[in-house]
């Protein structure tokens, strides 16, 4: 019997000198790096594992806009915007979310400090490691509690990504 997808995703929490929290989540997927890169940088990719609807303008200072509601549309109140701060092709992407009303107030004041850095490493021609770093979280009771929710949501998303990449089947489970 195969390993469960969620067991393939490692989640770690660390602190920085500035007493911030870093959420590191990593996994290995059995596909070439090009496939993983396309899943993160194209509309088809995002809609196959991450969200029901996506609009992708992948470039430095570009943006990825998504909506989990398949009956919704990009630009409505449920749209999530991720800014592409920078990237190194097939190596790294830095994203910064525009926080919506659904995020807690205490996070909104820290919005400028919150980033997701995704690192891609080709292990061989048919295996890729993905490491995601959520940075800028404050080391507080509120953030520690919120991270439990983020970890579970990210594990689900990473599982969707692994499933999509390794089977070719769209796996949005929202």
Helix axes 141-167, 33-41, angle to 10 degrees: 120
> What confidence score (pLDDT) does residue 100 get?
84
Q: Which domains does the chain have, with CATH numbers?
A: 33-127+141-167 (3.30.530.20)
Span 154-170, average pLDDT: 94
Q: How far apart are CA 130 and CA 122, in angstroms?
A: 9
**Does residue 142 contact residue 30 with C-beta atoms inside 8 Å?**
no
> What confidence score (pLDDT) does residue 173 get?
59
**Does residue 86 contact residue 94 with C-beta atoms inside 8 Å?**
yes
pLDDT tens for 81-126 read 999 999 999 999 999 999 888 888 999 899 999 999 999 999 999 9
Q: How far apart are CA 164 and CA 160, in angstroms?
A: 6
At residue 1 the predicted structure's pLDDT band, cuts being 50, 70 and 90, is: very low
pLDDT tens for 9-62 read 999 999 888 889 999 999 999 999 999 999 999 999 999 999 999 999 999 999
Q: Residue 69: is its pLDDT beyond 80?
A: yes
pLDDT tens for 3-19 read 787 789 999 999 888 88
Q: What residues form DSSP beta bridges with 162?
A: none
Q: What sign does the dihedral 35-5-21-81 (CA atoms) show?
A: positive
Q: What residues form DSSP beta bridges with 135?
A: 115
Token readout for 18 is 């500035």
pLDDT tens for 117-161 read 999 999 999 999 999 999 999 999 999 999 999 999 999 999 999
> What confidence score (pLDDT) does residue 2 get?
62
Closest CA relative to residue 117, chosen from 87, 139, 138: 87
Which residue stretches of the chain are H helix? 33-41, 43-49, 105-108, 141-167
């Amino acid at each position: 019997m195969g390993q469960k997808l969620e067991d393939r995703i490692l989640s770690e929490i660390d602190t920085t000198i500035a007493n911030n929290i870093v959420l590191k989540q990593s996994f290995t997927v059995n596909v070439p790096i090009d496939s993983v890169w396309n899943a993160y940088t194209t509309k088809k990719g995002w809609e196959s594992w991450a969200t029901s609807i996506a609009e992708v303008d992948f470039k430095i200072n570009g943006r990825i806009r998504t909506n989990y509601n398949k009956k919704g549309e990009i630009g409505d109140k449920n749209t999530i915007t991720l800014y592409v701060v920078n990237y190194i092709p097939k190596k790294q992407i830095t994203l910064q979310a525009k926080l919506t009303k659904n995020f807690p107030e205490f996070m909104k004041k820290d919005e400028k400090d919150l980033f997701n850095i995704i690192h891609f490493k080709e292990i061989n021609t048919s295996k890729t490691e993905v490491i995601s770093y959520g940075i800028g979280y404050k080391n507080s009771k509120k953030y520690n509690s919120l991270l439990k929710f983020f970890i579970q949501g990210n594990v689900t998303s990473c599982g969707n990504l692994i499933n999509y990449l390794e089977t070719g089947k769209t796996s949005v489970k929202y």
